[in-house]
Amino acid sequence: MKFWKSMVCTLAFLFAAAPAWAQSTEPVASPLPEGVTDSQDARDKPFSPAESIERMTVPDGFSVKVFASEPAIGQPIAFTFDDRGRVWVVECYSHPNWKPEGKDRVVILEDTDGDGVHDKRTVFWDKGRYLSGIALGHGGVYLCNTPELIFIPDADQDDVPDAAPEVLLDGWILGNHNNVVNNLNFGPDGWLYGCIGNDPISLVGKPGTPKEERTAMTRGIWRYHPYDRKFEVSALGAVNPWGFDWDDHGEAFFTNCVLPHLWHFVPGAYYERRPGEQDNPYVYERIQPIADHKHWAGGAWTSSRGAHGEHGEMGGGHAHTGAMIYMGGAWPKKYRGTIFMGNIHGNRINNDWLERDQSGFVGRHGSDFLLGNNPWFRCLAQKSGPDGQVYISDWHDVGECHDNDGSHRSSGRIYKVSWDAADDMVADALKGQGGRLSSLSNEQLVELQLHENEWNVRWARTLLHARAEAGGDMKKTHEQLMEIYRNNPSVPRKLRALWALHLTGGIGESFLVDALENEHESVRAWSVRLLLDRDIPDDDVLKRLVAHAENESQALVRLYLASALQRLDESSPLRWELAEALADHEEDADDRRLQLMIWYGIEPLVPENAKRALKLMSKTKLPIIQQHIARRLAESL
């Protein structure tokens, strides 16, 4: 300990004149931040990293390495990859006690020799307070830093903050130290998405925004635009969403820590939440989770600790963290499009299969993918990397979030799970691109929209978005993307081109209106979403949406037309007309999800438009619409 105290003093002297956001590169692992100590019983000793690997079981053909472990990292609550394939780790030492003077860190881990183990470590920032989420792009680092969403610029990519953190949003409350703003991810639409699990109301807005002008939000999903700087509540409900990802067709799914574990994300949805909680008394009925199973046997949640008996047989426990829909291209094809999530009490990673079901999806129970066989294993996040292999973060503690009196802060691991027979084309992708995607030309970034590994696709799209916003010449880029959209036979690749065209200004309203007639339902669904993504189109475009709703054959597209209702002005008669067109589809009479989305779109209109509501109620064959209109009118008398 004397050695480490001396080292801390030496570093403090060397950086005394540096700004508060200064970073450090440490070739040797560092101890915990000054003033942070383990509060658990000192007799509790974790298994060594090597022993932990020995205890794990994964399917035949897979292997696990320790990419990083203590003392290089501690309490890794979140992580992501930069465009060089390096791992950026958020260390949350604050839990469970928020303090204004933060010691949480953002650490960059790099594998310079390609052996699957980090050998270089850089502390990028060490003043976080309750850090819980990270995303990279658009010239810097986005962080959940309760009670704020902050941005730390690093435009020159030298791993040194260009300035002090900028507070983009504040007002996220810490009503429960286990339920905080978390899981930042850029969506196909270019917005930054995040989760929040608090029941007490957060009043979110730009710093200095008056209380009455802030956006109220409890549990649910939100998004923030990196250039418009606009904040929106995207969906409300669940209990503590703690994982969010998209599939090949841009359908999003999130996992939930407490209560049922898997949900299909639809903008404007109200999801099941704890009994007695309320965010809108006129919702009447909430959209249910999509899994046809549970990962625990019920009863008191504490009974699932350790995943004994039936709990272990069913999947381990009710608390889930992280969400990864595998699209890395290196693993066996059967895993592509399936969702992986950490199971805290079961000390394992669950795997569910996603199948279409009416307007949405159902989650089928797959075999547990990884068993920690270790009471310390606490997987919080899973992500596919630049080589198509998967990295998982392990908080590594014998307790979980409810054990507030003890926390083993000096432990934490990141493991790398590999399919040993991976295609070299995927494994060597980043090396073949010069080691940094941001050094590629627009033409090369467009080519990456065809890659098997989604990591390449997403980073390339983010870089193209940033270049377009900076005023770069996109003419050739748009021609290339249009060629993919029009002629590539793969629907996911058509969608990638559509999203990139939208983000780089290559298409407008007329193009998207024409795309409503595309032969592929996912293209039509995304055309609806992008038409109303940032602004409300004029009435001529909305009339085309209404006309399309009358004849749309696929429930998935009708689902997003129903979602669009809430984005239209309440005073617009076209909101009614769109709802009426959707309510005329008798074939949706047993699709509760779709009917509820229509209801959420018309509910605010009913009390002031009783005559029109009664007309709709008498005409539609959708029972939920009939019942809820009748109830709402009765309650408004």
Average pLDDT across each block of 10 residues of the chain; the chain has 637 residues. List them in order: 38 34 43 75 80 97 96 95 97 86 94 92 95 97 97 97 98 83 96 92 97 96 98 95 97 90 97 88 96 87 79 86 96 97 95 97 97 94 96 88 66 95 64 81 97 96 98 98 98 98 98 98 98 95 97 98 97 97 98 98 97 97 98 94
DSSP three-state, residue 635: helix
Q: For residue 350, give the amino acid letter.
A: N
pLDDT at 96: 83
Residue 538: DSSP 8-state? P
- Under the phi-then-psi rule, with left for phi > 0, alpha for psi from -120 to 50, and beta for the rest, what region is 110? beta
For every residue of 565-600, DSSP letters joined together read GGGS-TT-HHHHHHHHHHHT-GGGTT-HHHHHHHHH
The listed CATH number (3.40.50.300, 3.40.1390.10, 2.120.10.30, 3.20.20.150) that belongs to domain 2-425 = 2.120.10.30
337 φ/ψ sector (left φ>0, alpha ψ -120 to 50, else beta): left
Q: Which two tokens stand for residue 512?
A: 């998207």
- pLDDT given for residue 427 in this prediction: 54
Q: Which residues of 584-594 are buried (b: 16+ CB within 10 A; e: fewer)?
A: ebeebeebbbb
Amino acid at 322: G
Eight-state DSSP code of residue 334: G
Instruction: Give me Rg for the CA atoms of the chain.
Output: 24
Residue 223's pLDDT is 98
390-394, strands of its sheet edge to edge: 62-69, 413-419, 390-394, 379-384
Residue indicated by tokens 């995943």: 307
Query: Which has the closest alpha carbon to 522: 504, 544, 499, 539?
Result: 499
- What CATH number was assigned to the domain covering residues 437-635? 1.25.10
What's the rounded Cα separation, in Å, for the pair 553 and 332? Answer: 34
What is this structure's pTM?
A: 0.93
The pLDDT of residue 65 is: 96
**Dihedral angle computed from the Cα positions of residues 298, 300, 304 and 309, in that order, rounded to the nearest 10 degrees:** -60
Task: Quote the pLDDT of residue 425.
Answer: 53
Assess contact for 150 and 143: CB atoms under 8 A. yes
Pairing mode, if any, of strands 202-204 and 379-384?
unpaired
Residue 632, classed as helix, strand or coil, is helix
In three-state secondary structure terms, 580 is: helix
Domain boundaries defined on the chain: 2-425, 437-635
d(CA 339, CA 353): 6
pLDDT at 29: 47
| Residue in 125, 133, 126, 152 with CA at minimum distance from that of residue 141 | 152
The residue type at 513: V
